Structure 1
Amino acid sequence: MADQGNSGNALLERRLQELAEERRRLAMIIEGTAAGTWEWNVQSGQMRVNERWAEIVGYRLDELEPICQKTFIALVHPDDLALSDAALQDHFDGRTDHYVCLLRMRHRNGQWIWIHDRGRVFEWDGQGRPLWMAGAHADVTELQQARQDAAEMRQRLQAMVDASDEVAVIATDTDGIITIFNTGAQRLLGYTAAEVVGARRLDAFHDPVELQAWLRPLATADGQVPGVFEALSARADGQTYSRQWTLLRKDGQRRQVRLSISRMDGTHGERIGYVGMAIDITEILQARAEARLAAEKFAGAFTSAALGMALVSL
């Protein structure tokens, strides 16, 4: 019996050591992620949070105690509480596996910081109602600011591009998907930006006969003809590629343009896409043709006239 008791004590001690090691590893993981952890009793409002949770909003843990649901509500931006409540309800009703919400919380210094809040119910009561929930806060202020800066930069770029409505500007990503289609491009080609942005349809803008005649000499040894985006981007990889093209409007009308294509690089020199700028030269070419025809007619009349004619200065 003594041996059995000693064996049981050894098993218990080993199990306690394993649990302690598991807690240590979990604490190291949480510390490494710099996440603020929280536990919440949904029915009583009681909350348990770690030191990092308080640090994220600029406090020591003892400065926030006693911590409950009201503590969270007092720190969250009023406009974001409804979003949080809706995300919680979706999780409680089983429509989502996790509660996930991006919200603003007031830092002790008065600034609003962005928090990515994520959690899950881990205990339900006898009536199937949520009882205990656990999750983590992550400070994503810098990431959110970077996203906002990028969005604002894109808006400013779009405004600048749209202001040049006499020039058609079409930008693509590295796969040929159209990302920018300015008002000049809409005027030239007759499509709206909503019809083409997000699509790969550069070949739809070109005269098919002219395009095939240009692509045919670029065919590989086995007769494979490259696509229009692949061929144009290859020409523009080293330097700006310019050429006169016949483009087709949505209504089928043909327009003569001078199209210049350049590669766009990121901050580290990596390729991020291409931009094409086209100027409609249809009227210019027509005026030149009419002037040439008039000159030819005049020359014919001058040289073949039955009467003597002369051109003199003043």
Structure 2
Amino acid sequence: MNRIGVVGCGLMGAGIAEVSARAGMEVVVVESSAPAAEAGQARLTKSLKRAEDKGKIGSAAAVLERIRLEISLDALADREVVVEAIVEDEQAKTDLFTQLDKIVESPDAILASNTSSIPIMKLGVATTRPENVIGIHFFNPVPVLKLVELVPSLITSPDVTERSRRFVQDVLGKEAIDCPDRAGFVVNALLIPFVLSAIRMLESGFADAEDIDRGLVLGAAHPQGPLALADLIGLDTTKAVADSLYEEFKEPLYAAPPLLLRMVDAGLLGRKAGRGFYNY
């Protein structure tokens, strides 16, 4: 595979586009509007320039030449693999997959989702080729973190799973783990209850944010505390994953605490908003 399409150029979409272009692929990124595409271009330029300054790549300009920003899904017609990286909303994603099914021409093309929680089967049945639909879940920041979760549905073809594995490992140089098609997959099914527990601890007044995070960093050798991590993930994304997990399993540990709900309502979404559990 040489031609990849990415839908969405936020933090995750831009990261997927960047690592694909750095691997030599021809990348088309589709955003919803011209201003969003301009913001995505600026995000890519900033990240690649930083990588160039650190000596991780030879030329940011050369990598950028392999990335094309568009505002029409029709630009994805000739892609061999398309990775969806839009808002973590089931209806928005299923609508997008219905459109991609009509636009992407090759019957062998892989239609992948970067969802962190939504069952892949629900996205697959929105198309006429559910055997070609798979979850390829990257982690933020994509250029840095090596892990990718591969999530085939019950009817994803073994060939699509294997080609996706080669794309992730041989082309992008990432490490893939196999995950069942259940909300949260492997990492978030473990991580989100941990983060929610930290939020409940803060909400109850048991400890403040700094001490909760310092405790896990200094006492458990975590690279960052759970509340700082929630700010990095985005509190809206944290809530969305929690909601998907709770809907699927109905376990209290997956229920979003009231503090998280109110912060999302207030727009206190973490790093991307400038304020979450910490100010940025």
The answer to whether the superposition gives a TM-score over 0.5 is: no
Q: Which has the higher helix share?
A: 2
Q: TM-score range by the shorter chain?
A: under 0.3
Q: TM-score, normalised by structure 2?
A: 0.19
Q: Which has the higher strand share?
A: 1
Q: TM-score, normalised by structure 1?
A: 0.18
